[in-house]
Amino acid sequence: MTDVLKHRFREQIMVMFGREPKKPAVIAPEAQKIHLYKRGNRDLITEMLHARAHAVHDNKWRNRRWATLIIANLLFVVSFYFDIQLLEGALTASRFAGFHLADLNSALQVMLAHKHIITNLLIGTGTVLVLWILLGGRAYCSWVCPYHLLAEWAEKLHLYLVKKKLVTDQTIDRRLRSVFWVIFAVLAAATGYTVFEAISPTGILSRALIYGPGLALLWVLALLVFEVFFSKRAWCRYACPIGLTYGVVGIISPLRIKYKLDGCFHEGDCRKVCLVPHVLDTVIKGRAVDVEVPIGPDCTRCGLCVDTCPTGSLTFEVKGLSKLL
């Protein structure tokens, strides 16, 4: 990794914790040449219009992701309903074929509340940690979390209402997510109770699917209503500490989305569909620091940008290996 990319990577980590993306101070010479070529190039503009007009969005990664998310959550339901003991528990803590699995953030909350390390939780956390290091940290959010799927559908309704000028989208300071992470950790340690687990829509939905609905679903409904009429994806972007925890895991993940500058027309379609658009600031004209730039750890690896890009400038890749098809 070049010095320019190392500096960019540090910047991406700060963006994950809530700092707003900013223009890069240093750009590699090879990238500077491409930026210069693109400025005012009429042939390139013609190519851009042609590419957008003939782009085919097959939603390949989105469909794979939705199928994986639904199947993963249905496994809990089927295992419980038929008592086959394949996948026991819920997303917060479970056992798969006898192996303990524990959500990283939930395990941290429990150990802070009890003020000691619990062996089974430690084993389960280690298993999950290795799994999500390999799969890309925040991929948990878009490929497994049931609330993420509901919020994604709610966002479509929100955008329709915005288009009809019935509502406006309100943004909130993204640093709040880091603040909430600290608040929930302190509350667990101070009260001896996992406060976050009581209000986590991920845990509430997972338990409701498996064991049946309860009054806690009203809280989930309230969140979705807020996101439809006020601020899209507010919980995931501005409050949920689970996303931040898995984002930290994603810092060292080999699975990522990579951006290639030379083929990009900077039409902005990828940022329009991105669930966390701040991670794609590098695709803005003049901001790429090198000819190839890995997208930062706050990326959910949802694949929407890959499906949308008309020139294939965004691709899944395992670090050191060829891109994923």
User: Where is the domain boundary, 224, 248, 272?
Assistant: 248
Q: Which residues contact 256 (CB under 8 A, 6 or more apart)?
A: 136, 294, 295, 299, 301, 316, 317, 319
Q: What is the dihedral of CA 167, 172, 174, 177, to 10 degrees?
A: -100
The residue out of 209, 224, 248 marking a domain boundary is 248
Residue 152 and residue 290 in one domain: no
162 with 231, same domain: the answer is: yes
Domain boundary among 218, 248, 278: 248
How far does CA 256 lie from the centroid of its chain? Answer: 11
Are residue 169 and residue 263 in the same domain, yes or no? no
Residues 19, 65 within the same domain: no
Gyration radius of the chain's alpha carbons: 21
Rounded-to-integer distance, Cα 229 and Cα 224, Å:
9
Rounded to 5°, angle at Cα 220 from 227 and 239: 60
Task: Count how many domains the chain has.
Answer: 2
User: Cβ(279)–Cβ(296) under 8 Å?
Assistant: yes
Same structural domain, 151 and 228: yes
Residue 24, domain extent: 3-55+257-324
The answer to whether residues 196 and 108 belong to one domain is yes
Q: Phi first, then psi: what are they for 167, rounded to 5°?
A: -140, 165
Q: Where are the beta strands (DSSP E) in the chain?
A: 87-89, 93-96, 99-102, 255-260, 292-294, 314-318, 323-324
What pLDDT score was predicted for residue 232?
94
86 and 176 within one domain: yes
Is there a single domain that holds both residue 177 and residue 269?
Answer: no
Q: Which of 5, 18, 144 is nearest to 69 (CA)?
A: 144
**For residues 281 and 295, what is the distance between their CA atoms, to the nearest angstrom?**
9
- Tokens representing 12 are 């991406």
The tens place of each residue's pLDDT in the chain, 325 residues long, gives 688 888 888 999 999 999 999 899 899 999 999 888 887 676 666 666 666 666 667 899 999 999 999 999 999 999 999 888 888 899 988 888 778 888 999 988 988 988 887 777 788 899 899 999 999 999 999 999 999 999 999 999 999 999 999 999 999 999 999 999 999 999 999 999 999 999 999 999 999 999 999 999 999 999 999 999 999 999 999 999 999 999 999 999 999 999 999 988 888 889 999 999 999 999 999 999 999 999 999 999 999 999 999 889 999 999 877 666 5
Considering the domain architecture, whether residues 109 and 209 belong to the same structural domain is answered as yes
pLDDT for 242: 95
Q: Tell me, yes or no, whether 229 and 278 share the same domain.
A: no
- Sheet containing 323-324: order of strands: 292-294, 255-260, 314-318, 323-324
H or E element: which one contains 139? Answer: helix 139-143
Q: Could you tell me if 71 and 51 lie in one domain?
A: no
Tell whether 119 and 265 lie within a shared domain.
no
pLDDT at 323: 65
Give which of 203, 170, 171, 169 is closest to 184, Cα–Cα: 203
